[in-house]
Amino acid sequence: MKSSSKRVTIYFDPKLFRAIQLKAVETESSVSGIVSDAIKSYLSEDADDLAAFEERAREPGASFEQVLKKLKRDGKI
């Protein structure tokens, strides 16, 4: 663990904690490493979502009515 790491107390359901412990043994990791990796993955998904929202914000908008008309014109509905 890095010296710049912060120590926290997290409460888990006993069965969930047991699963994390077993995963740690199976992967030759630590409970702390597994939890840290899970949090990084969770936050990374949020960052990806925010980037997608920013990219989509530049797209021209269309009203619901316009979308329906296009679907009908294209024979989709």
Domain range for 38: 14-73
* pLDDT: which is higher, 30 or 58: 30
d(CA 11, CA 17): 9
pTM given for the model: 0.59
* pLDDT: which is higher, 48 or 67: 67
Could you tell me if residue 68 is inside a domain? Answer: yes
> Can you give the pLDDT at residue 51?
85
Could you tell me if residue 35 is inside a domain? Answer: yes
Could you tell me if residue 3 is inside a domain? Answer: no
Instruction: Encode pLDDT of 47-57 as tens digits.
Output: 888 888 888 88
Sign of the torsion formed by the C-alpha atoms of 23, 24, 29 and 33: positive
Q: Tokens 């490493």 sit at which residue? A: 33
Could you tell me if residue 49 is inside a domain? Answer: yes
Could you tell me if residue 1 is inside a domain? Answer: no
Q: Mean pLDDT over residues 67-71, rounded?
A: 95
Query: For the chain, how many structural domains are there in total?
Result: 1
Could you tell me if residue 2 is inside a domain? Answer: no
> Can you give the pLDDT at residue 58?
82
Q: Report which of 46, 44, 22 is spatially closest to residue 34, judged by C-alpha positions.
A: 22
